[in-house]
Amino acid sequence: MNSVIERYLELWRITKTYDSPAGPVNVVQDFNLTIRQGEFVSLIGHSGCGKSTVLSMVAGLSDYSAGGIVLAGREISGPGPDRGVVFQSPSLLPWLTALENVTLGVRQVRREASRSAVDEIAVRSLTLVGLGDSLDQRPGELSQGMRQRVALARAFALDPKLLLLDEPFGMLDSLTRMELQQVLIDLWMSDRKTALMVTHDVDEALLLSDRIVMMTNGPEATVGGILEIPFARPRDRATLLDDPEFSRLKGDLLRFL
Amino acid sequence: MNDRRFPFDWLLLPLVALVACGLLWSLSSATWAKSLPSPLKTWEMSKPYVLQPFAKRGELDQGVLRFAWYSLVLVAKGYSLALLAGVPLGLLLGMSKIFTRGFDPIIQILRPVSPLAWLPLGLILFQKSEPAAVFTIAICSMWPTVLNTAVGVRAVPQDYLNVGRVLQFTRWQMLSKILLPATLPYMFTGFRLSLGIAWLVIVAAEMLTGVPGVGGFLWQEYNSLIYEHIILCILTIGLVGFVLDRLMSLIESRFRTPDLAR
Ligand SMILES: Nc1ncnc2c1ncn2[C@@H]1O[C@H](COP(=O)(O)OP(=O)(O)O)[C@@H](O)[C@H]1O
Ligand SMILES: [Mg+2]
């Protein structure tokens, strides 16, 4: 087995400056974070503190003003399919079916693959998220939860180096959210992608993460503290909730926020 | 508001309104507008044109739908030209702020110019009446397509563009796989409005140039003092325009995609 790369994703003194009416503001300042290969890290913090800003800089969708981001030994410049992104809104293309939404990306990363091979990858990915029967439905015909499943399948089907999730379940009702958290856990357990997820749901962060990064309030937001989440995997929601360690960690998080 | 429903109201209400308008028309032609032909007289004079709508008895004496067909062919030419020029222009306007700042004032000035003003310029440019008419239709009807396409491009959600950016789409892929499909519903609204204008312009163009068609027929019958046929032409123009609009609405609704960005 390959040895795990310790410094797989490295954010070094990342700073993001936006112009405001009162002059330039460092929304995020000197943000340092190192993530191990195969690790699941959550980013938690108050609304507006700059979580999405950090995530979109890692995604390459927005430039950083100072510092550096290195993924698997390479500095990030611009977006690319080596980073699968799941946004808060599913951002599926409404004129394409679920399958076409997924193959659109697979075709970009597997240019040499035949049409049927591309379809196969997409179908497998959609089946894993439980949409094997809805391949030909358009986003308009799917529920919010199902759309977000497609978005998860689309990101995983790219077989990316890194998964970036920005409050992926923020728009869902709590039952659907729990369902999708399980879908995400199952997907992640199947190939242990390195993942960085933004959330403001404490339970969600505890259930999914190896580590939780707490961000200070902006402006000039940065890492306020990091919690190691020691629970063995696979984790079960019910047993976790009974664990006194769970309440203790949850207390720590809530006190910080 | 009072909106009572009863059986067959969709048929009965328009019929009642029609009868009311017919009465007003009869009354007018009998009293203050002596030269306005009565409904009955109009029907008598129009019968051969309506009952044999595709007949061709002579160059100036053809069934009313045959004339309408000539007009439609001419409209089709000008309208195609309008779409061919309007879509790329709209895309450019939507994609480039610099281009918009440069050309928007010119467009706003040209847009309200009447077809009656463009036609003489077309005649000078092309020397012949048919290309002049096509030119006029194209330049008058392309604006809704231009503006709606531009609005559509600007309204493409950033989320969709980010999908393309993450996948490192080329400019061409961005256009063909994201921008165009996302803009299509807006473009079809533009297409429908443009077609409406094209059909409006045709009558004016035919009148001034003498190109055969409903508009040309209308003008010729005015000059021959057969006023019944003017009314026949007006009704034909209205009906054809209505049918065109319905058809475009049908196509438009087929291309409407739900906006899931929120
Ligand atoms: N394009 C922008 N221009 C200026 N300020 C911005 C821009 N995007 C975000 N901000 C500001 O940066 C801060 C962090 O935003 P964001 O990263 O979206 O927060 P979070 O995701 O933690 O809720 C907010 O105060 C927001 O107003
Ligand atoms: Mg956010």
**pLDDT attached to residue B1:** 60
Confidence of residue B257 (pLDDT cuts 50, 70, 90): low
Q: What is the pLDDT of residues B62-79, one digit of tens each?
A: 888 899 999 999 999 999
Between A250 and B2, name the one with better pLDDT.
Answer: A250
Closest ligand 1 atom to residue A54 Cα is 17
**pLDDT attached to residue B258:** 62
CA distance B77 to B83: 10
Report how far apart, in Å, the C-alpha atoms of B204 and of each of A73, B66, B111, B124 are. 70, 18, 17, 17
Ligand nearest to the Cα of A48, by number: 1
Mean pLDDT in chain B?
Answer: 90
The CATH number that applies at residue B204 is 1.10.3720.10
Ligand 1 proximity of A16 Cβ (cutoff 6 Å): no
Residues B193 and B201 sit within 8 Å (Cβ to Cβ): no
B57 and B27 share one domain? no
CA distance B259 to B262: 7
Confidence of residue A179 (pLDDT cuts 50, 70, 90): very high
- CA-nearest residue for atom 21, ligand 1, is A52
Mean pLDDT for the stretch of residues B20-46 = 90
B257 and B130 share one domain? yes
Mean pLDDT for the stretch of residues A191-218 = 93
B165 and B110 share one domain? yes
B59 and B102 share one domain? yes
B50 and B94 share one domain? yes
Taking the centre of ligand 2 as the mean of its atom positions, its distance from the CA of residue A55, in whole angstroms, is 9
Q: What is the pLDDT of residues B133-166, one digit of tens each?
A: 999 999 999 999 999 999 999 999 999 999 999 9
B25 and B124 share one domain? no
B186 and B197 share one domain? yes
**pLDDT attached to residue B262:** 40
Backbone angles phi, psi at A235, to 5 degrees: -95, 145
| Chains A–B, number of C-beta pairs less than 8 Å apart | 62
Residues with Cβ within 8 Å of A134's Cβ and at least 6 positions away in sequence, in order, are: A98, A126, A142, A146
| Residue B59 in this model has a pLDDT that exceeds 80 | no
Residues in chain A, how many? 257
- Please identify which residue in the block is written with the tokens 């140039």: B209
B18 and B105 share one domain? no
Report how far apart, in Å, the C-alpha atoms of A124 and of each of A146, A158, B139 are. 16, 12, 52
Q: What is the pLDDT of residues B108-121, one digit of tens each?
A: 999 999 888 999 99
Residues in B touching A103 (Cβ below 8 Å): none
Instruction: Supply the DSSP string of chain A, one letter for each residue.
Output: -PPPPSSSEEEEEEEEEEEETTEEEEEEEEEEEEE-TT-EEEEE--TTSSHHHHHHHHHTSS--SEEEEEETTEE--S--TTEEEE-SS----TTS-HHHHHHHHHHHH-TTS-HHHHHHHHHHHHHHTT-TT-TT--GGGS-HHHHHHHHHHHHHHT--SEEEEESTTTTS-HHHHHHHHHHHHHHHHHH--EEEEEE--HHHHHHH-SEEEEEPPSSSB-EEEEEE----SS--HHHHHH-HHHHHHHHHHHHH-
Query: With helix as H, strand as E and coil as C, how does B206-251 read?
Result: HHHHCCCCHHHHHHHHHHCCCHHHHHHHHHHHHHHHHHHHHHHHHH
**Interface predicted TM-score (ipTM):** 0.92
Backbone angles phi, psi at A91, to 5 degrees: 45, 45
- CA-nearest residue for atom 18, ligand 1, is A52
Q: What is the pLDDT of residues A4-15, one digit of tens each?
A: 888 999 999 999
Confidence of residue B33 (pLDDT cuts 50, 70, 90): confident
| Residue B179 in this model has a pLDDT that exceeds 60 | yes
Between B259 and B53, name the one with better pLDDT.
Answer: B53
Residue type, A66: A
Q: Do A91 and B165 touch (CB under 8 A)?
A: no
| Residue A1 in this model has a pLDDT that exceeds 70 | no
B28 and B121 share one domain? no
- For chain B, what is the domain count? 2
What is the percent of chain A with per-residue pLDDT over 90, rounded to a whole number? 86
Mean pLDDT for the stretch of residues A68-84 = 94
Burial B166-189 (b: 16+ CB within 10 A, else e): bbebeeeebbebbbbbbbbbbbbb
Between B208 and A118, name the one with better pLDDT.
Answer: A118
Ligand 1 proximity of A24 Cβ (cutoff 6 Å): no
Instruction: Supply the DSSP string of B44-87, one letter for each residue.
Output: HHHHHHHHSTT-EEETTEE-HHHHHHHHHHHHHHHHHHHHHHHH
Ligand nearest to the Cα of A63, by number: 1
Residues B120 and B176 sit within 8 Å (Cβ to Cβ): no
B195 and B235 share one domain? yes
Domain boundaries, position B17: 1-36
Ligand 1 proximity of A60 Cβ (cutoff 6 Å): no
B247 and B161 share one domain? yes
Confidence of residue B259 (pLDDT cuts 50, 70, 90): low
Q: What is the pLDDT of residues B83-105, one digit of tens each?
A: 999 999 999 999 999 999 999 99
| Residue A85 in this model has a pLDDT that exceeds 60 | yes
Mean pLDDT for the stretch of residues B170-188 = 94
What is the percent of chain A with per-residue pLDDT over 70, rounded to a whole number? 99
B113 and B14 share one domain? no
Mean pLDDT in chain A?
Answer: 93
Distance from the A88 Cα atom to the nearest Cα atom in chain B, whole angstroms: 10
Distance from the B85 Cα atom to the nearest Cα atom in chain A, whole angstroms: 25
| Residue B131 in this model has a pLDDT that exceeds 90 | yes
